[in-house]
Structure 1
Amino acid sequence: MKVTVAELGPAEFRSAIDGFVAVYAAAMKPPERMLAGRDIIMDRHAANPGFRGLAALVDQNALAGFTYGFHGAPGQWWHDVVAGALALGPRDGGAYLDDSFEVAELHVVPAYQGMGIGRELLLRLTEDRQERTAVLSTMDTESPARRLYRTSGFTDLLTGFRFSGGEPPYAVMGARLPLRSPSSDPGDDAPDQPWPRSPRPSSW
């Protein structure tokens, strides 16, 4: 099996949103109410400054996972909600938002999890960024995703945080860039095959 990572510009990303929503649904199994409008959110995010999107393709065809992010700034919903919560928190995590890259989504299809695809997407997404830090939110559980973020250099800024009354608790995490290399973690699930960069798929 050959896995390639393709970088997508905003237009290419938008044309593939339906596939990304399907990956999100398979990976997270969210209730239907959390799927409604997710395509619109992704489309809007693609217009944010410093946008970068990546797709992981198996044998240059099947979509195995995706990630995207952008420069965080006041006026963005997630940035403002988290900034307000950090200002009231017991520790000063607000500095993580001063010059940040927001990792908005990172998901891998269950059949391809545990192969290092998620870590490779995360490292590729954040490499060579000009921002000082990276920030994200993830479910506040001891999950493989949480371990991935911690072993990449992320630390908890908020735990048990609810963005709305109907959502489960999240952890907000931050890290200084660049992120850690997986070579320092012997237990990492990094792939044993090379990770070639692919040209952007012409169908996107």
Structure 2
Amino acid sequence: MIKGKFIVIEGLEGAGKTNAQQIVMASLQAHNIEFITTREPGGTPIAEALRNLWKEGIGDEHTTDKAELLMLYAARTQLVETIIQPALDKGIWVVGDRHDMSTQAYQGGGRGLSDDLLTSIKTAILGDFEPVLTVYLDLDPTIGLERAKGRGELDRIEQQHIDFFHRTRTRYLQLTEHNPKAIVINAAQSLEQVSADIKTKFEAWLQENHSML
């Protein structure tokens, strides 16, 4: 059996990841490709509990930067080993809302944790496991946070200083530049134009990789 493919949507708050995921899903449905969706951190009961603990803390105590990193990888490996990898082995595609690039951008770029630490943990937990394609929605953090505010009260992560998000975006751009497994979308455009760009570029990617369908 041909293995399924892992596709990930990445971007800052307010970039439109939900819309992008729906467009990718619609394209897969049009090609009669079986798929499931996931989100990170989360996606399993244990991973969701870790997500809540990371976001909300306990009382007045919140996770330190390194504890946050370890919790994210704990949630990630739980999801990969119990949901994503088994689906891929059955020939089912997986469309994920965030994966490891988020950690490299937010904890590496935003938090400033060392590359050596990130690389050692990533290698130990994930090995060479990675998505075949990442759709990155690029957006100025100021615009993204304004959009996020329109959805309601900002969560703990969304309340970080704007400089945190600028550092995160810079790392995202570094990770996607000249990356053959990444599609970069200008998410500052109108919703209609963003949607059209995602559909066009994803369909082109599908056609180029038709032998894997």
Asked which structure has the greater RCO (Cα within 8 Å, sep 6+), the reply is 2
Whether these two folds match at TM > 0.5 is no
Q: Which has the higher strand share?
A: 1
Name the TM-score, length of structure 2 as normaliser.
0.27
Higher helix share: 2
